Amino acid sequence: MITDVFTDGACIGNPGPGGWAFVVDEGQWASGSEGKTTNQRMELMAASAAVQSIDGPIRVHSDSTYVVNCFNQNWWKGWHKRGWKNSKNEPVANRDLWEPFIELVVARDDVEFIWVKGHSGDRLNDAADRLATLAAAEQEGRSGGHYTDSIVRGLSDDDVPEKKNIRS
C-alpha cells in the first residue's frame, strides 16, 4: 500500500520566520518552524520530515517545483557530478538539507514525488498549507498520529495575523 502525504512550507517574509507541515489523510501529521529561514528551506524540510517519518512506499505531493523537480528531473544527479554546483556553476542552495534528504530518498527507493497546484482547493494540500502557515506565525511545531479535518477546521486566514505577508 502506498501512503499519500501532502507537504507545504510557508515563510513570513523571505527570509523570515518559517513553518513546514505534512499531512496524511486519516493518519500522521506534523509541523515545525525556524526563526529566520526561506520558503524553499521550509518546503524542503516538510518533504524531508515526511520521508523520515513515514514507513513504506510513499507519494509526496508538493506544490514546490524546487522539491519535485529535484527528483523528477534528476537535478540532484547533476549537482553530484558538478561537485554540488548548480547548472549556473554556483553552489547548490540548501545543500545542508539536500544532501541527507537525497541520500535517504535514494536509499529507500520507494518515494515518488508529485507536483500539485498550491491554493487550488485540494483538501490535504490546503491543510498542509494552513498548518505550515500557523507554524510560521506561532513559531511552534505540532504533531499527531491521526489527522482529520477537525485539526484545521475553523482555522481561517484571519486567525493568522501575518497571513497577508506569508509566502507559501
Q: 43 an active-site residue?
A: yes
Q: 9 an active-site residue?
A: yes
Q: Which helix or strand (DSSP H or E) is residue 98 part of?
A: helix 95-108
Whole-model pTM: value is 0.86
Catalytic residue among 16, 32, 34, 43: 43
Question: What are 3's three cell numbers?
Answer: 501512503
pLDDT tens-digit readout, 89-123 = 999 999 999 999 999 999 999 999 999 998 888 88
Q: 99 an active-site residue?
A: no
Strands (E), 87-160: 111-115, 142-144
Instruction: Output DSSP code: residue 92.
Output: P
Domains plus CATH for the chain? Answer: 3-162 (3.30.420.10)
